Chain A
Amino acid sequence: MAFDIYLLEAIINGLLLGGVLALLALGLNLIFGVIDVIWISYAELVMLGMYAVYWLHAYYGVPLVLAGFIAILGVAALGFLVHYLVISPILSSPPINQLLATGGLLFFLQAFAMLLFGNEFRNIGLRLPIIVIADMYISFARLLAFGAALLGMVALYLFLSRTFIGTAIRAVSQDREIMAIMGVDTKKVYLITSAIGGGLAGLAACLLVLQYDVHPDVGLSFGPITFMICVLGGLGRLLGGFIAAFVMSQFITIGGLYLDLEWGYVLAFVFFIGMMFWRPQGILGTRS
Chain B
Amino acid sequence: MLVVDGITKNFGGFVAVNGVSFEVRAGEILGLIGPNGSGKSTLFNLISGALRASAGSVKFDGQEIAGMPPDRVCHLGVARTFQIPRPFGSLSLMENVALSAFFGQEGKVTRPQAWRQAEEALALVNLPTDGVATPENLGAAGLKKLELARALATQPRLLLADESLGGLDEAEMDQAADMLDRVRRERGVTIIWVEHIMGVLMRLVDRVMVLDHGELIAEGLPREVAADRRVIEVYFGRDYEAHGESGQPAGPEI
Contacts and interface: CB of A to CB of B under 8 A. Distances in A.
Interface class of chain A by DSSP: helix
A119 to B, nearest CB: 46
B223 to A, nearest CB: 34
A174 B89 contact: yes
A179 B88 CA distance: 10
B119 interface: no
B106 A183 contact: yes
B97 to A, nearest CB: 10
B90 A181 contact: no
Contacts of B95: 167
Contacts of A181: 48, 50, 70-71, 74, 79-80
A180 B99 contact: no
Contacts of A179: 103
B71 A164 contact: no
Nearest to B102: A164
A170 B90 contact: yes
A183 B91 contact: no
B222 interface: no
Nearest to B92: A167
Contacts of B154: 182-183
Given A180-B50, A180-B69, A164 B103 contact: yes
Q: Which of A177, A182, A185 has the most CB of B within 10 A?
A: A182
A185 B106 CA distance: 10
B151 to A, nearest CB: 8
Contacts of B150: 182
Nearest to A172: B88
B229 interface: no
Contacts of B69: 180, 185
Interface string A165-202: 00110110011011111111110000000000000000
Given A168-B103, A170-B91, A183-B75, 15 more contacts: A164-B111, A167-B98, A171-B88, A174-B88, A179-B103, A180-B49, A180-B69, A181-B48, A181-B70, A181-B74, A181-B79, A181-B80, A182-B74, A183-B74, A184-B99
Interface of B: 48-50, 69-71, 74-75, 79-80, 82, 86, 88-91, 95, 98-100, 102-106, 111, 114, 150, 154
27 contacts: A164-B99, A164-B111, A167-B95, A170-B88, A171-B91, A174-B89, A174-B90, A177-B86, A178-B86, A178-B88, A180-B69, A180-B74, A181-B50, A181-B70, A181-B71, A181-B74, A181-B79, A182-B71, A182-B74, A183-B71, A183-B75, A183-B100, A183-B103, A183-B105, A183-B106, A184-B71, A184-B103
Pairs of residues from A and B, 5 with the lowest C-beta to C-beta distance, nearest first: A183-B104, A183-B74, A182-B100, A180-B70, A183-B103
